[in-house]
Amino acid sequence: MLVTTPEALQSLCDTLRQGDYIAVDTEFMREKTYYAKLCLIQVANDEVVAAVDPLSMDLRPLWEVLADPRIVKVFHAARQDLEIILDLTGKLPAPVFDTQIAATVAGHEESVSYARLVEAITGEQLDKTLTRTDWSRRPLDEAQLRYAEDDVRYLRVVYKKLRDELKDTGRLSWVQEDFERLADPTLYQADVREIFRRIKKGQMLRPKQLAILRELAAWREETAMARNKPRKWIVDDDVLFEIARQAPASAEALGRIRGLHESQVREWGKALLAAVARGLEIPETERPVWREKRKLKPADMVLVDLLQALVRQRGLEQGVAAQLLAGRAELEALVANDPDAEVFQGWRGRLVGRELKRVLDGELSLRVVGGQLVTLEGAG
C-alpha cells in the first residue's frame, strides 16, 4: 500500500511498533542536488509491507519509530539509506542490521547485490527493470510500487535467515561490531578541508598549488551544500585544478581558464580569487602534500603475496570472503607500516589480524611447504 496521509502513516507506525524489527529501504534522486532527495521510503515487518510518500506529508511519526532502540532496523547496503535519514533528521536509527555485511560473513560473495542475495536465499528473481525510475514523479503506478515494496518484502526473509545462521555459527557478535560503526554519525561527516584529495589530478600539483586547490575545493563544497546543488554544477574538478595550477590574480586571468564560463566568472569570480589568495598565503611549512603510497620493494611484494595467501587460507577455513578480512591494498599498507588497519580490529583481528601482526613483528614466519602455506614460530 502507498501511505499518503497522516492518518494512514500513524496507523502504519502503530503496526510497526508491535514488531521487533523493521525492514527499510529508500528511493531517492540526487542528480540535481547535493543532498539526496528522498522520494519514497519502504518499510515492512511480519504484519505489513508499505511504501510511504515523503512528498505528501511530514514523516515525523515514522522517524520516531525508526529511532526506537527496541526495534532492529534492517537494511541492505545500509550506508546510503542511513546518510539520507541522518541528513533529514539529524539522527541515525539504531540498532541496525545490514544484510550485505551479514551475507559476506555468512559465506556469500563480497558486496553481494540485494537481487542476488534474495535469489540465493528465497529462490525469487526480482524484476530490476525500474532501477532508473524517476521516483520524484507522481503518481506512481502499480508496477513501480510493487518494485519498491519488493525491496523490503523479501528483506524480511533474508534478514531472518542470515540472523539465525549467524547465531548458530557464533558470528552474530562479529557483524554487530560493523553495525555499530554504521550507527556512528562521524562516519558520514566529510572534512571539507580534505575534499581536495578527491580531485585525482591534484597529485600532479606542487604543495603551493595544492594549498590553493584545498581552499578552492573547500569553498566549492560549502557552496554546493548551501545551494543544495551538485559540486560540478558550481565548478568542475578540471577547472579547479587549472585555477590551482595557474593561480590567477585577476578576473581577466580567471576568465582565460579553460572550461570556466563567463556566467561562472560573474557569479563566483570574487570567491574563486579570494580562495586563490588564501591558498597563496599559507606558509610553506603548512602547505599540504599529496599522500603518496610508499613504493614497496620486490621483497616487500613477496611478503604481501604471503600475507594475502594467509588471509585467503583463513577465509576459506572460516567460510568468510578474504576481501572482507583484508584486500591487497590494505595488506600493502600493512607492509608499509599502517598501525590502524581495520584487519587489526574486532573480529577481523581475532580471525587473522593478530596473526598478520605477529608475522610483521617477526614472531611468525610464513613458508610454502609442499604446496601448502604454513606458519612457523620465529622469523628464521
Rg (CA), the chain: 25
Establish whether 81 is a catalytic residue.
Answer: yes
Residues 6+ apart with CB under 8 A from 325: 311, 314, 315, 343, 348, 351, 352
All domains of the chain in start order, with CATH: 2-188 (3.30.420.10), 192-286 (1.10.150.80), 298-377 (1.10.150.80)
Q: Which has the closest alpha carbon to 76: 112, 123, 41, 51?
A: 112
pLDDT digits (tens, 9 = 90+) for 70-93: 999 999 999 999 999 999 999 999
Establish whether 7 is a catalytic residue.
Answer: no
CA 292 to chain centre: 23
Establish whether 47 is a catalytic residue.
Answer: no
b/e map 61-74, b = 16+ CB within 10 Å = bbbebbeeeebbbb
Mean pLDDT of 32-59: 97
The residue assigned the cell 535519514 is 85
Which residue is catalytic, options 34, 114, 147, 154? 147
Phi and psi at 38, nearest 5°, equal -70, 125
E-strand ranges in the chain read: 2-3, 21-29, 37-44, 49-52, 72-75, 96-98, 364-369, 372-377
Contact 294, 304 (CB under 8 A): no
Which residue is catalytic, options 53, 81, 98, 221? 81
Establish whether 21 is a catalytic residue.
Answer: no
Cα atoms found within 13 Å of the Cα of residue 285, Cβ hemisphere only: 0
Q: Which has the closest alpha carbon to 4: 63, 59, 45?
A: 59
DSSP state, residue 112:
-
Contact 174, 347 (CB under 8 A): yes
d(CA 55, CA 64): 18
In the chain, the percentage of residues whose pLDDT exceeds 90 is: 75
Q: Which has the closest alpha carbon to 134: 32, 50, 42?
A: 32
When the pLDDT of each residue in the chain is averaged and rounded to a whole number, the result is: 93
Establish whether 25 is a catalytic residue.
Answer: yes
Which residue is catalytic, options 25, 215, 330, 332? 25
What pLDDT is stored for residue 294 in this prediction?
A: 66
What pLDDT is stored for residue 192 in this prediction?
A: 96
Cα separations in angstroms, 260 against 32, 103, 247: 20, 46, 14
Which residue is catalytic, options 21, 27, 114, 149? 27
Tallying the residues shown for the chain, one arrives at 380
Which residue is catalytic, options 98, 150, 151, 355? 151
Q: Which grid coordinates belong to 95?
A: 540498532
**Which pLDDT band holds residue 379 (cuts at 50, 70, 90)?**
low
Strand-strand pairing, 364-369 and 49-52: unpaired
d(CA 99, CA 79): 12
Q: Which grid coordinates belong to 142?
A: 502499480
pLDDT digits (tens, 9 = 90+) for 222-232: 999 999 999 99
Q: Which has the closest alpha carbon to 100: 268, 315, 321, 254?
A: 321
What pLDDT is stored for residue 293 in this prediction?
A: 62
What pLDDT is stored for residue 341 in this prediction?
A: 77
